[in-house]
């Protein structure tokens, strides 16, 4: 497993801190030939353990021009990790935060959409892959951040649809439903948190193992167990699961 990324170029968004930085280091540890560390401000990237294999890249997921330029500059990307995200706290029934919610969707939904469209040619190849870093908030109701959960739920459906569209090309699409991670984004939560290194390692190892869904920490595993096997099957194999639903519907009609 340690050398499974050998010969691959991996592009990771939101690489300047937190989980993104840990994902870069995890890719290096798994012998990726090149890791493209994408951030809005490349100068803010930390010094990585093997800088010779890291290529800094200016990429703002809310700026279509930078995404198009990235896809042109790195057409040989074989694994795209969509990690950049922002959070939002506030209730659904609250008023006055619509601009903030729209900004949230620009990053958490339209950003990943722009990425997969721009890198379509890179992804439509056997052995290529997409990792969509999401949150258990996509499948549960967050009491403090329901709009964040809504943005992640939309991005989850996007990733599942991309998996279906890329299936015949031989690409592997993995969704990552993480719990609380010890990063700046979760600084306001007092719950026990997983380390970014643990989540990053389990994320890449899950994609390498061909897993459709990765629950990369203990809290995520508890959510996995709570949602039950039928729902997990809908996430992992929606086409097969819904085929059974349609068959049952036709037989009953």
The pLDDT tens digits of the residues spanning 114-139 come to 999 999 999 999 999 999 999 999 99
Distance CA 39, CA 50 (A): 18
The domain spans of the chain are: 9-226
d(C-alpha 36, C-alpha 32), whole Å: 10
Q: Please give the Cα distance from 31 to 48 (Å, whole number).
A: 14
* Integer Cα distance of 33 and 9 in angstroms: 6
What is the spatial distance between Cα 208 and Cα 6, in angstroms, rounded to a whole number? 12
* Beta carbons within 8 Å of 42's beta carbon, 6+ residues apart: 16, 56, 57, 58
Query: Residue 227 is inside which H or E element, if any?
Result: helix 218-227
Per-residue pLDDT of the chain (253 residues; tens, 9 = 90+): 445 899 999 999 999 999 999 999 999 999 999 999 999 999 999 999 999 999 999 999 999 999 999 999 999 999 999 999 998 888 887 878 899 999 999 999 999 999 999 999 999 999 999 999 999 999 999 888 899 999 999 999 999 999 999 999 999 999 999 999 997 776 666 678 999 999 999 999 999 999 999 999 999 999 999 999 999 999 998 888 888 888 888 887 5
State which fold the 9-226 domain adopts. Rossmann fold (3.40.50)
């Amino acid at each position: 497993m340690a050398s499974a990324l050998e010969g691959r170029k991996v592009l990771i968004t939101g690489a300047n801190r937190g989980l993104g930085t840990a994902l870069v280091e995890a890719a290096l540890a798994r012998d990726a030939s090149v890791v493209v560390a994408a951030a809005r401000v490349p100068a803010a990237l930390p010094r990585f353990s093997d800088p010779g294999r890291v290529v800094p890249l200016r990429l703002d997921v809310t700026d279509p021009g930078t995404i198009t330029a990235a896809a042109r500059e790195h057409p040989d990307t074989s694994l795209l990790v969509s990690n950049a995200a922002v959070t939002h706290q506030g209730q659904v029934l609250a008023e006055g935060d619509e601009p903030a919610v729209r900004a949230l969707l620009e990053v958490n939904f339209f950003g990943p959409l722009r990425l997969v469209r721009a890198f379509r040619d890179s992804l439509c190849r056997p052995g290529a892959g997409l990792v969509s870093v999401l949150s258990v908030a996509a499948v549960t109701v967050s009491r403090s951040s329901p709009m964040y959960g809504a943005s992640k739920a939309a991005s989850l459906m996007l990733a599942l649809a991309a998996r279906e569209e890329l299936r015949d090309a031989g690409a592997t699409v993995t969704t990552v439903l993480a719990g609380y991670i010890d990063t700046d984004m979760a600084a306001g939560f007092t719950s026990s948190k997983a380390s970014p290194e643990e989540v990053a390692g389990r994320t890449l190892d899950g994609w390498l193992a061909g897993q459709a869904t990765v629950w990369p920490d203990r809290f995520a595993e508890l959510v996995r167990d709570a949602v039950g096997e039928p729902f997990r099957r809908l996430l992992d194999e929606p086409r097969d699961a819904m085929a059974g639903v349609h068959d049952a519907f036709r037989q009953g009609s």
